[in-house]
Chain A
């Protein structure tokens, strides 16, 4: 049972373009939605996160948009750079354990 669905599976963007990755969740008990960036051979690293009482959060070139009624959230990377080429995972967490439920990942390639 996939509780967090992520799309697209892969994304190719020109340098300077906007990268958009979408996620949808099923469990309304989720109360925190982080995005992680993972480079080959490394563990995931937190990029940006949002709570469901906020519709948008921006940190530098990275923005999360959150639609609670639709149970969807997305990551926008503005002015995408080749160094942004990595795999991006959306995630959700809930409960006292705060375990992360991850999406299946999006492999982003930014062309120079």
Chain B
């Protein structure tokens, strides 16, 4: 079955420094992968998605992710963190049809 593992439950960065949130996937075929963000008391929002068109995927708010088949990874990055980036981030894989399998989440803390 398709699954994802987020390698860090918490990540803390200083404002203006790069962000790296790590995700490994397990899939028996080429997966569809997503990153979602959840701000406190707000709904989940799609940051970006990989659907085999291009391995480097650009998303909203300056985030991007690179699909690496050899490493089974789909890490999320951003060159410079902003205070408003503090949130919970989820790496997600399509299970089947419209069923999504979410990782456990990474809580991003951005300090001034």
Q: Do A and B come from one complex?
A: no
Q: List residues of chain A with CB under 8 Å of any chain B CB.
A: none
